[in-house]
Amino acid sequence: MPGVRYIFLAAILFTGAFAAGQSGDSAAIESSIGLRDPGPEDDWRLVWSDEFDVDGLPDTSRWTYEEGFLRNNEAQYYTRARRENARVEGGHLIIEARKEPYRGAEITSASLTTQGRAAWTYGRIEVRAKLPTGRGTWPAIWMLGTNITEVDWPACGEIDIMENVGFDPDRVHSYVHTAAFNHVIGTQKGSSLIIERPYDDFHIYAAEWYQDRIDFFVDGRKHFTFENTGGGPDEWPFDEPHYLILNLAIGGGWGGQEGIDDSIFPQQYVIDYVRIYKRID
């Protein structure tokens, strides 16, 4: 859901509609939750990864940054190549939100993206991460179509592998957004799953993306499937390459629904690895 880059007014107005719509979708999907060992070493070939094993700024051959005030009426200023907000340390990528004055903002954070560096069509996207927590936090793992500059959002497609909001800290969400299915018009498709204290330990968040569906997992537990029903690109824009985004937003239309607790800062979103697999035929 974080990908409303170009429709600021709609992003500000969606708050009530999104909150009302998400519970119904989640309840319907969660009744069919299944268990599965994804077994990437058996079924998939690793084609891209970052294990975050070199301290310093993130690897510029893999990552670039979003910068500034971007979307959803969020409070943070996303900084570029600033160690206070994004650094590799002790085998982890740390995205840190800080309460501090910076370029007209009172909060800084970071959003790392592979845009212009790497993009994929189909495959398994897997991220092992420990979430931040506290009222106002909104971490995400998500993807946008590389054609966003041509067709805009949501026609480009958005795959939300994981989202979490600090006022509901033990619940993680997965959603897709397309021209036909998105939160602005109240038709978004997705699910949520309760995880015990995902801010205390690492969990594996993954999506397996095929030509006919996208399956979403937490620790090998499938909790949502979005199917390609053949309705064309308005419903399924997912035959085009998408790039990956890792970000920690603060406040905004969803993350800020219950305000921001200024006492929680700094907050760290800690990513152990990112791995992209292709299916072995």
Residue 13 pLDDT exceeds 50: no
Mark whether 158 is an active-site residue: yes
For residue 242, which of 182, 129, 159 has the smallest C-alpha distance? Answer: 159
pLDDT at 271: 98
Q: What is the pLDDT of residue 1?
A: 59
pLDDT in tens, 217-233: 999 999 999 999 999 99
- Please indicate whether residue 7 or residue 160 has the higher confidence score (pLDDT): 160
Of the residues 158, 196, 227, 240, which is catalytic? 158
| Pairing state between β 92-102 and 158-163 | unpaired
Judge if pTM exceeds 0.75.
yes
The catalytic position among 74, 126, 163, 235 is: 163
CB-CB contact of 78 with 110 (8 Å):
yes
Contact 105, 68 (CB under 8 A): no
Could you give the count of Cα atoms lying within 13 Å of 145 in the half-sphere of its Cβ?
22
pLDDT at 40: 54
90 versus 11: which is more confidently predicted? Answer: 90
Q: State the CATH architecture for 8-50+114-257+275-279.
A: Sandwich (2.60)
Q: What is the pLDDT of residue 158?
A: 98
Q: Which residues, at least 6 apart from 150, have a Cβ–Cβ distance to it below 8 Å?
A: none
Q: What percent of the chain has pLDDT over 70?
A: 85
What pLDDT shows up at residue 43? 86
Report pLDDT digits (tens) over 248-258.
Answer: 999 999 999 99
Is 150 an annotated catalytic residue? no
The region of weakest confidence among 15-19, 53-57, 125-129 is 15-19
Is the pLDDT confidence value at 4 over 50? Answer: no
Question: Residue 281: what pLDDT?
Answer: 78
